[in-house]
């Protein structure tokens, strides 16, 4: 029967069996899933594991630091950082189609892991060998929505499932592939990860790229990062973090509307607030946020983010909407 203890024991045994004495890398995104996957693999094969943080430039404010400091401080794991900000931006140039974005990002992640593997081997000198295994924090819902293995339709290609390139040279280790988010959180807690890490709200691997409707550019990322940081700060200040599952902020980069500020005309972009409540992200309802919190977020974003002159609220459940806009 299902207990977190059983899941941990079973997965630790399976990981040991799968990787033997091979070298393993695990991508860390700053999110719950990759953190718990890494902690499981660390428990199973400790020294054979190096975590890899791909800084793709699509993260929210403060997230790179969270990975580089918090996770390493707690687990003592070996960390290798790849600065892939320019590579990702270049690969995404001119791309507006959501599935193309997702597949581009999935491919670039793998290229970055290959680069990390070469660098890790080079650093190890004569004891180098090779890196054969890549750990991913894939969950059951990621598999389902990517149409994985069930013959079901692809809703969207999660970057770590349907977005993988065909010439993948790694063997995948995916210890969370049968689990839902609440189960992953229970496993993380049992493994001793701190509460604020385990209860972090979900954030998609493709990051802010799938929250910019239109082409991804450095300027648009900066705009969205600023707006998102304001929304998150106000939601946290209002004590709503546990009540909402997540609250994407989406920049409609291809839409403009007329506004007025001071005595001048503006012609800026809207951002969408997408607060949702959910158990497992398979279905969701829009969260009825207090009006005063919405008002504060709106006032601050339109005052503090020059390119944004309208804040709108998404009141669609899932289905028919998905949580993310792309």
Q: From the annotation, which residues make up the binding site?
A: 29-35
Minimum distance from CB of 125 to ligand XMP (Å)? 34
- Closest distance to ligand XMP from the beta carbon of 193 (Å): 18
Question: From the list 148, 175, 204, 275, which residue makes contact with ligand XMP (rule: CB under 6 A)?
Answer: 204
Rounded to 5 degrees, φ, ψ at 257 are -140, 160
Residue 36 touching ligand XMP (CB under 6 A): no
Per CB under 6 A, the list member of 30, 148, 206, 270 interacting with ligand XMP is 206
C-alpha–C-alpha distance, residues 160 and 155, integer Å: 14
From CA 323, how far away is CA 36, in angstroms rounded? 23
Q: Does 323 bind ligand XMP (CB under 6 A)?
A: yes
Q: Which is nearer to ligand XMP, 40 or 45 (CB)?
A: 40
Taking CB under 6 A as the rule, does residue 194 contact ligand XMP? no
Tell me how far apart the terminal alpha carbons of the chain are, to the nearest angstrom: 37
Q: Contact between 246 and ligand XMP (CB under 6 A)? A: yes
Contact pick of 80, 159, 225, 274 for ligand XMP (by CB under 6 A):
159
Q: Which of residues 72-101 bind ligand XMP (CB under 6 A)?
A: none
By CB under 6 A, residue 202 contacts ligand XMP:
yes
Beta strand 285-286 pairing with 308-313:
unpaired
* 318 belongs to the binding site for ligand XMP (CB under 6 A): yes
Residue 49, both tokens:
């594991």
| Residue 170 vs 245, nearer CB to ligand XMP | 245
Determine the size of the site formed for ligand XMP (CB under 6 A).
15
**Least separation in angstroms between CB 299 and ligand XMP:** 26
Q: What is the rounded distance in angstroms from the CA atom of residue 163 to the CA atom of residue 175?
A: 19
Report which of 247, 235, 181, 248 is spatially closest to residue 209, judged by C-alpha positions: 248
- Alpha carbons 60 and 229: distance in angstroms, whole number: 7
Of the two residues 300 and 318, which places its CB atom closer to ligand XMP in the complex?
318
Q: Does 205 bind ligand XMP (CB under 6 A)?
A: yes
Determine if the peptide bond prior to 219 is cis (ω within 30°).
Answer: no
Closest CA to 298 of 259, 255, 325: 259
User: Which CB atom, from 112 or from 323, has the smaller least distance to ligand XMP?
Assistant: 323
Least distance in Å: CB of 97 to ligand XMP?
Answer: 15
Span of 118-126, 197-205, 213-221, 261-269 interacting with ligand XMP by CB under 6 A: 197-205
- Beta-strand ranges (E) seen in the chain are 23-27, 49-55, 78-83, 131-135, 171-173, 212-213, 249-252, 257-261, 264-273, 276-277, 285-286, 308-313
Location of structure tokens 């998102």? 228
Is residue 211 a contact point for ligand XMP (CB under 6 A)? no
* Interface residues toward ligand XMP, by CB under 6 A: 102, 145, 156, 158-159, 202, 204-206, 246, 281, 318, 322-324
């Amino acid at each position: 029967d299902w207990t977190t203890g059983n899941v941990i024991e079973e997965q630790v045994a399976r990981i040991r069996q799968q990787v033997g004495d091979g070298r393993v890398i695990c991508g860390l995104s700053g999110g719950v899933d990759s953190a718990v996957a890494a902690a499981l693999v660390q428990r199973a094969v400790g020294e054979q594991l190096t975590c890899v943080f791909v800084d793709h430039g699509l993260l929210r404010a403060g997230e790179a630091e969270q990975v580089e400091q918090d996770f390493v401080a707690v687990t003592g794991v070996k960390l290798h950082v790849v600065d892939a900000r320019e590579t990702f931006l270049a690969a995404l140039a001119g791309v507006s189609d959501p599935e193309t974005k997702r597949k581009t990002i999935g491919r670039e992640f793998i290229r970055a892991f290959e680069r990390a593997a070469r660098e890790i081997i080079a650093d190890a000198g004569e004891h180098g060998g090779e890196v054969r295994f890549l750990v991913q924090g894939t969950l059951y819902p990621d598999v389902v929505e990517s149409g994985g293995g069930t013959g079901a339709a692809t809703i969207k290609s999660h970057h770590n499932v349907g977005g993988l390139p065909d010439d993948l040279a790694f063997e995948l280790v995916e210890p969370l592939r049968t689990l839902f988010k609440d189960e992953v959180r229970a496993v993380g807690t049992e493994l001793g990860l701190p509460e604020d890490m385990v209860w972090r709200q979900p954030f998609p691997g493709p990051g802010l790229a799938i929250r910019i409707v239109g082409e991804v550019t450095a300027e648009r990322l900066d705009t969205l990062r600023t707006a998102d940081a304001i929304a998150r700060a106000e939601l946290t200040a209002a004590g709503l973090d546990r009540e909402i599952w997540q609250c994407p902020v989406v920049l409609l980069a291809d839409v403009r509307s007329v506004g007025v500020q001071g005595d001048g005309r503006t012609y800026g972009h809207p951002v969408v607030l997408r607060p949702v409540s959910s158990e497992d992200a398979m279905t969701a309802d829009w969260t009825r946020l207090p009006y005063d919190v919405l008002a504060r977020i709106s006032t601050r974003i339109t005052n503090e983010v020059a390119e944004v002159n309208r804040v709108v609220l998404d009141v669609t459940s899932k289905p028919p909407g998905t949580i993310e806009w792309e």
